[in-house]
Amino acid sequence: MIDRKIDKILIANRGEIACRVIRTCQRLGIETVAVYSDADRNSPHVYMADQAYHLGAAPAAQSYLDQEKILKAIKDSGAQAVHPGYGFLSENANFARLLEANGIILLGPSAESMELMGSKLAAKDTVKQYNIPLVPGTDQALKDIDEAVQVAKEIGFPLLIKASAGGGGKGMRIVANEAEIEEQVKLAVSEATSAFGDGSVFIEKYVEKPRHIEFQVLADLYGNTVYLFERECSIQRRHQKVVEEAPSAVLTPELRKQMGEAAVNVAKSCGYIGVGTVEFLLDAHLNFYFLEMNTRLQVEHPVTEMITGLDLVEMQIEVAKGRPLPFQQEDLAIHGHSIELRVYAEDHFNQFLPSISTLDTYQTPKMEGVRVDDGFRQGMEIPIYYDPMIAKLAVHAPTRQAAIKKMKKAIQNYHIEGIKHSLDFGTFVMDHPAFISGDFDTSFIQKYFDEAKYHELNAEKYEAAAAFVHWLGRK
């Protein structure tokens, strides 16, 4: 059995995920090393860690993406392992190889697994042997516009032009008819090249009324792989998640098992080790299709932790040490319901654009069954250089209805002033009949949310409350 010593970990990231990793390490008695840019010199993760190393200027290319600077910090600190968090270098195969070449443990999968799953086309080809359902479309990059037109005619409209590399909705375009193909392909190629340095794009059939369902997987070094159930991530803006919950309101036990086993097979197809996420699209008829695999810890992992009672960062560390999984699939069960709201510094009435300013007031809710993962404190400024997420607000309750109620109460007790933020949007979602019923898909924001609809729903809510108070007064 493999036995690796890990008593000091460097976190190659910033903000809430760095703080979250440090908390688990502190509980386990593992020393931590933080890295920071000029913009993050006074950030909480810097003070929480046992050691901290300055990387450079605020732009990520000069700090959190500079592999040589991070390698120097690892060596200078004496850390045996690196937790990459998410974003930045977390799915960078070259960084994984750099660490391996220097005898440093990455709390993540192999470089080979990253490369296979990092390319959507390579991933689709890899999972074919396991008969994983795939969305109809091309399995190779488009050669030219003529090929795009021919493929589009074969699979029908609407369709999606998608970048092979990367994620986060970049290089993704919906095409409604043949007249739009040439322009949308060019735009997708340009955006993919700019974002990922790879302009390869392919075509998929657009799944109408899709739900975004992802499965958490966990694999050790000895071939044991399990799924830790699903997360519903359908409420998105610009193809990026805003509200997540576990479990999904629409999966039956049979479908959950079928999708979970498919997720395990995806992980096995690339020899996956550690914590990862397999993403699926679920159509209106509950047919599911493999979308992609994220070879890292996901932003929304708290909801999985809340329904399973597991610490996924601890699981990453245990797997990296060489410990076998302490449970099998049949030992795992779902306990209650969890919902997470990403608290962004952004203006939801202005296309969810970032709101960069100072946190004049910042007070988090203190309630049982409520968890706040954040990396900011009152008086801090939101840096313009990075993702504008301030925190993740997660709740846990025995039922979905109780979790919705608890989330609304937690939002009421979360006080932020000085910037525009997404807390009010979270309340809108929790109050909306489509969300409450579970009858929604990835077009929730486009269908239901704008400033007028926000005020309309609030007016209806207040009118109902006033009528109830009036009724009480008559009794």
Instruction: Average the pLDDT over 179-205 and give the result.
Output: 86
In this predicted structure, the answer to whether residue 468 has a pLDDT above a threshold of 50 is: no
User: What backbone phi and psi angles, to 5 degrees, belong to 29?
Assistant: 75, 25
In this predicted structure, the answer to whether residue 274 has a pLDDT above a threshold of 70 is: yes
Residues of the chain with pLDDT > 70, as a percent, come to: 96
Q: Is 201 helix (H, G, I), strand (E, B) or coil?
A: strand
Tell me: the pLDDT tens digits for 174-184? 898 888 888 88
Rounded to whole angstroms, how far apart are CA atoms 335 and 230? 13
Tell me: the pLDDT tens digits for 58-82? 999 999 999 999 999 999 999 999 9
Residue at token pair 């488009």: 142
User: What backbone phi and psi angles, to 5 degrees, belong to 414?
Assistant: -110, 115
Residues 6+ apart with CB under 8 A from 346: 352, 353, 354, 355, 388, 420, 421, 422
Greater pLDDT, 390 or 147: 390
In this predicted structure, the answer to whether residue 102 has a pLDDT above a threshold of 80 is: yes
| Structural domains of the chain sorted by starting position, each given as residue range(s) with its CATH number in brackets | 8-107 (3.40.50.20), 136-205 (3.30.1490.20), 211-458 (3.30.470.20)
With beta carbons less than 8 A apart as the criterion, state whether 399 and 328 touch.
no
Report the DSSP beta bridge partners of residue 240. Answer: 237
Q: β-strands 274-282, 211-219: how paired? A: antiparallel
> How far, CA to CA in Å, does 173 sit from each of 161, 195, 214?
5, 15, 21
Residue 292 is among the residues annotated as catalytic for this protein: yes
Pick the catalytic residue: 232, 245, 292, 340?
292
Rounded to whole angstroms, how far apart are CA atoms 163 and 201? 4
CA 413 to chain centre: 25
Q: State the Cα angle at 204 between 202 and 209, rounded to 5°.
A: 145
Reported as half-sphere exposure (CB side, CA atoms, 13 A), residue 406 has a value of 22
Encode burial over 299-327: b for 16+ CB neighbours within 10 A, e otherwise: bbbbbbbbbbebbbbebbbbbbbbbebee
Residues of the chain with pLDDT > 90, as a percent, come to: 75
Rounded to whole angstroms, how far apart are CA atoms 105 and 113? 15
pLDDT value for 301? 98
* pLDDT, the chain, mean: 93
Roughly how many angstroms between the first and final C-alpha of the chain, as a whole number?
72
pLDDT value for 472? 56
pLDDT band at 154 (very low <50, low <70, confident <90, very high): confident
Q: What share of the chain is helix, strand, coil (3-state, %, to 5)?
A: 40, 25, 35
The one-character DSSP state at 332 is -
pLDDT value for 166? 66
Q: Alpha helix locations (H) across 270-386?
A: 301-308, 312-321
In this predicted structure, the answer to whether residue 464 has a pLDDT above a threshold of 70 is: no
Rounded to whole angstroms, how far apart are CA atoms 195 and 356? 22
pLDDT band at 290 (very low <50, low <70, confident <90, very high): very high
With beta carbons less than 8 A apart as the criterion, state whether 307 and 334 touch.
yes
On the 0-12 / 13-18 / 19+ scale of CB atoms within 10 A, 131 is exposed
pLDDT value for 168? 64
Rounded to whole angstroms, how far apart are CA atoms 21 and 34? 10
Report the DSSP beta bridge partners of residue 52. Answer: 34
Rounded to whole angstroms, how far apart are CA atoms 430 and 409? 11
Greater pLDDT, 351 or 51: 51
With beta carbons less than 8 A apart as the criterion, state whether 159 and 204 touch.
yes
In this predicted structure, the answer to whether residue 199 has a pLDDT above a threshold of 90 is: no
User: What backbone phi and psi angles, to 5 degrees, belong to 439?
Assistant: -95, 80
Report the DSSP beta bridge partners of residue 394. Answer: 340, 371
Reported as half-sphere exposure (CB side, CA atoms, 13 A), residue 83 has a value of 33
With beta carbons less than 8 A apart as the criterion, state whether 316 and 305 touch.
no
